[in-house]
Structure 1
Amino acid sequence: MPTAARLVAAILMAALAYILSDLVRPLMPEGTDFGYFNYVNAFIGLCVGWVAVGSRGGRGLVPGINNGLTGTALLFIWTIGTHACYEMFRLAMRNRYDGPMEAIAGIFLIASEFAYMIATVPMLLAALVGAVVVGLATEYAAKTWR
């Protein structure tokens, strides 16, 4: 059921994902072709905000902050997983894997490499501040517009 909390959470998580995507770009290797990187991440943020964050709005101040933190953690998990799957598929099309199990194991290796690359203090601080803002704004929307 559409609510104001879901709408606010979806829009703000998409914006947070877009901003964090811009912070990730300098951390990646030189010459990386990003393509639709920001837009894919923003779409994932939109979905996470609508499903995970917006549906749990209206429970109080501290649960609202925790809701934003949980949503941001889900955002990281889904975006890293999505891009790791894409990278594995790209490498599989170049015959870099001997079999399907090696390719599936490659997803986790690539995801851990991506997570290691983006685990910097500015990135984590921006994610933390954004999570608190998203959580509080979702909580405000849930309390204000019923």
Structure 2
Amino acid sequence: MPTAGRLTGAICFGALAYYLSVLYVPLLPEGAAPGAMIPINTFIGVVMGWVVAGKRAGGGLTAAISYGLTTLVTIIFWALFVHSGTDMYHESLRLRYDNATEAVVAVFEQMMEYAQPMLISEYIIPAIVGCLIAGLVTEAIGSRFP
């Protein structure tokens, strides 16, 4: 059911995912092409903002902080999973893996490699501040216009 909280969550967390993706692209290793990373991550942010944050809007200040952080974690998880899965798919077409188990393990190894550049303060601080602001804005709109 569409609500103002869901719409606000989708917009705020989509914008946050876009901004964090723009911050992430320069952190990629030399020669790595981002491809469609920014639009895919923005889409994931919109969906997670709608599903995770927007669904919980209207629960108060503590809830806003909680679902803001939860939404950030889900956005990062799904973005890492989608991009790592895509890489695994392309590598499997090149017959790099001997069996399916090796391919699945490679997805999670690639997720860890993609997560490494995020562990700097220039990325963590904007991510946390952004998710708190997005959660509070979602809460403000969701509680006023149920």
TM-score (normalizing by structure 2): 0.97
Aligned residues between the structures: 146
Q: Which residue of 1 aligns with 2:87?
A: 87
- Aligned-pair identity in percent equals 38
Give the drift of 1:62. Answer: 1.2
Residue 109 of structure 1 deviates from its aligned partner by 0.6
Q: Which amino acid aligns with 1:95?
A: L
What letter matches 1:48 in structure 2? M
Deviations 1:8-59 (A, max 9, x none): 0001111100100011111111122222110000000010000011000101
Give the Cα separation in 2 of the matches to 1:42 and 1:110.
20
Report Cα offsets for 1:55-93 as digits up to 9, x if no partner.
Answer: 001010111111101100111111011111011111111
**Per-residue displacement from partner, 1:99-129 (whole Å, max 9, x unpaired)?**
1110011001111111122221111111101
Q: List 4+ stretches of structure 1 deviating above 2 A.
A: none
Q: Which runs of 5+ in 2 are unaligned?
A: none
The equivalent residue for 1:10 is 10
Q: Does 1:24 align with 2:36?
A: no
Q: What corresponds to 1:114 in structure 2?
A: 114
Residue of structure 2 in register with 1:57 after alignment: 57
**TM-score for both structures, normalised by structure 1:** 0.97
Q: What is the root-mean-square deviation of aligned Cα atoms in Å?
A: 0.9
Structure 2 distance, partners of 1:77, 1:33, is 20
